[in-house]
Amino acid sequence: MNELILASPDKLAPAAKKFLELLGNRKVVAFFGEMGAGKTTFIKAICNELGVDDGVSSPTFALVYEYHTSDRQLVYHFDFYRINKASELFDLGYEDYFYSGQYCFIEWPEKASHLIPPDALKVHFNVLPDGKRLLKIEE
């Protein structure tokens, strides 16, 4: 298991770059952590490193946002916080996204863990007493 420390918001770019190196060829990432742990903020930093041209924000009400990178790639950003049952994801066509070969970043994956691809990278956010974030990356 790899770990990353997010020391402060102004040091997210190097951490996002390191994270993308750890990601390798995997495209689906499940981000676990309590509300306010920094999942969306870190996903924004990752998207910036990927060259996303669009503004990145939490897709809490839409369930998924689609972003475009400068080299015309797609990045999908999911937030399952408000789903009540897995059938909502079937209606969304989640498989088309998860198996598209594009980056898929999922917040609150525990709401539908049985639908997350088994080879997805799992990232657990822990807020440390000093305010830093410890990311435990499960391969």
Q: Where are the domains of the chain?
A: 2-138
Question: Could you tell me where the DSSP H helices lie in the chain?
Answer: 12-23, 39-50, 87-92, 94-98
In this prediction, residue 118 has a pLDDT band, given cuts at 50, 70 and 90, of very high
Tokens representing 17 are: 């770059």
CATH topology of domain 2-138: Rossmann fold (3.40.50)
For residue 54, give the amino acid letter: D
Beta-bridge partner residues of 67? 75
Predicted structure pTM score: 0.92
Supply the pLDDT for residue 54: 72
* Range 72-80 average pLDDT: 93
Of all helices (H) and strands (E), which one includes residue 32?
A: strand 28-32
Mapped to the 3 state alphabet, what secondary structure does 83-109 carry? CCCCHHHHHHCHHHHHCCCCEEEEECH
